[in-house]
Structure 1
């Protein structure tokens, strides 16, 4: 009897796939992702048409399988999409959208893959327009933009920053951390930095008000001293006039 082999039935994933990324290698790697994520979310707090994530799996299987064709960029941004919470990025559930910007935070164990295999994946399959990598210990920093289907290295500006046309922001190193900068060159602050800046502004305004108060007090004291001096002169003249009158001398006749 001939047995008919049943065709393989692909395993379709549930609608809500969880991210399946390994933990970050060091605290510095974690801190870097937190800085990138929180600063961009704060800077674009009034926008609802983007999604930014860190250390999250991107599922992109053409057969919509959860066990094949998946990658986890360290940090990525998708533009022109709904800003909402996700457990992972599932391309076939997101109108076929891939990340517009990717930043890989290099480590000794991942650097070769990030510089080669992932770069080709992001260039040839995902077609991600802007790709950057940064090593938080060696300060290795490079960026690429997609031109006619191939990555072209982005030149550094005078501040050694790289321009992201997708984000309309600069990406550059400050105090050994990769940061975003506005086109005008201002640092994109994290919420904590913004709060610190606001506290500093309040303190500066308080000190300015205190200086104004001290100047006003000094001006009042000067005016009081002048009035007192005038009064002392008046009293002195009155006493002198009285003494002259007692001596029979008319002060008004003294030339």
Structure 2
């Protein structure tokens, strides 16, 4: 589901130049920074590198410019994380709505902190609902793990109900969002945790090591079986040799008895 808010400026509106810089303050803490980077890295890896999806833009702690008044007053700061679908995947310093075919974010995630929580839950939520008309809005507190999500329905944000695992479904991502090990993470439609590239590499290494161990164990079993087979063959050869020697002794004895005119069959 893609929702686009188009801008139709009046004749007297002069839009600012396009070389606008992002006007965002640093994130509240290292936890907030790590969380933002985790969301961006994982989505880029899953969509662009794994599934070869390129018609999207994901931004973090970046200003969304949507009106000339905003630029003059600087009374609004951009989302901690946002996603725009059906757009060119290229580097940007900010998101300027009137230069992006009127597109607003399809999904926004705010990372709550003591200094921003009231704004994120109040003013920003209202702006994302009424001005941006962003289809999905989530917030997450990296410190106390508070997590909630909303979907735009009939022009109003409605809470997204969690599934039995406590995960919230995102139609825009076609993925679940949920808390795992103190972090907000993506989950696949089947409910499995989406691994980070590093986690995937560790898991791939572990799988390779396990496969190598299984191969080594199979090789050892094959060698042991070969040794057992060789030992069995040697025993069989020894038995054959003993039988041949016994036959030869019996034949020599029978010949000796016949020389003495004794019938070997009655001895």
TM-score range, shorter chain: 0.7 to 0.9
| C-alpha contact (below 8 Å) 2:178/2:186 kept by paired residues | yes
| C-alpha contact (below 8 Å) 1:173/1:179 kept by paired residues | yes
Answering whether residue 76 of structure 2 is matched by residue 78 of structure 1, we say no
Q: CA deviation at 1:67?
A: 4.7
Alignment partner, residue 177 of structure 1: 183
DSSP-derived class of the 1:248 partner: helix
Give the greater-gyration-radius structure (CA).
2
Q: CA deviation at 1:50?
A: 0.4
Q: Which one has the bigger helix percentage?
A: 2
Q: CA deviation at 1:204?
A: 2.3
Answering whether residue 160 of structure 2 is matched by residue 154 of structure 1, we say yes
For 2:265 and 2:196, locate their aligned partners in 1 and report how far apart those are by CA, in whole Å: 82
| Alignment: residue pair count | 245
Backbone CA RMSD of aligned residues: 2.4
| C-alpha contact (below 8 Å) 1:75/1:104 kept by paired residues | yes
For 1:239 and 1:23, locate their aligned partners in 2 and report how far apart those are by CA, in whole Å: 94
Decide which of 37, 51, 59 is 1:53's aligned counterpart: 59
Counting only pairs closer than 5 Å after superposition, residues 22-101 of structure 1 correspond to structure 2 as: 22-45=25-48, 46-62=52-68, 65=71, 67-68=73-74, 70-101=76-107
Q: CA deviation at 1:66?
A: 5.7
Alignment partner, residue 128 of structure 2: 122
| C-alpha contact (below 8 Å) 1:43/1:189 kept by paired residues | no
| C-alpha contact (below 8 Å) 2:16/2:68 kept by paired residues | no
DSSP-derived class of the 2:91 partner: coil
DSSP-derived class of the 1:240 partner: helix
For 1:21 and 1:137, locate their aligned partners in 2 and report how far apart those are by CA, in whole Å: 21
Q: CA deviation at 1:194?
A: 2.3
Counting only pairs closer than 5 Å after superposition, residues 185-200 of structure 1 correspond to structure 2 as: 185-200=191-206
Answering whether residue 24 of structure 2 is matched by residue 21 of structure 1, we say yes
Alignment partner, residue 6 of structure 1: none
Runs of 4+ residues deviating >4 angstroms: 9-12
Q: CA deviation at 1:244?
A: 3.2
The structure-2 alpha-carbon separation of the partners of 1:37 and 1:66, relative to structure 1 and needing over 3 Å to count, comes to farther
Q: Which runs of 5+ in 2 are unaligned?
A: 1-11, 258-263
| C-alpha contact (below 8 Å) 1:12/1:66 kept by paired residues | no
Q: Say which is worse superposed, 71-80 or 9-18, in terms of deviation.
A: 9-18
Q: Say which is worse superposed, 232-241 or 170-179, in terms of deviation.
A: 232-241
Question: What's the TM-score, normalizing by structure 1?
Answer: 0.88
| C-alpha contact (below 8 Å) 1:36/1:179 kept by paired residues | yes
Decide which of 225, 232, 245 is 1:239's aligned counterpart: 245
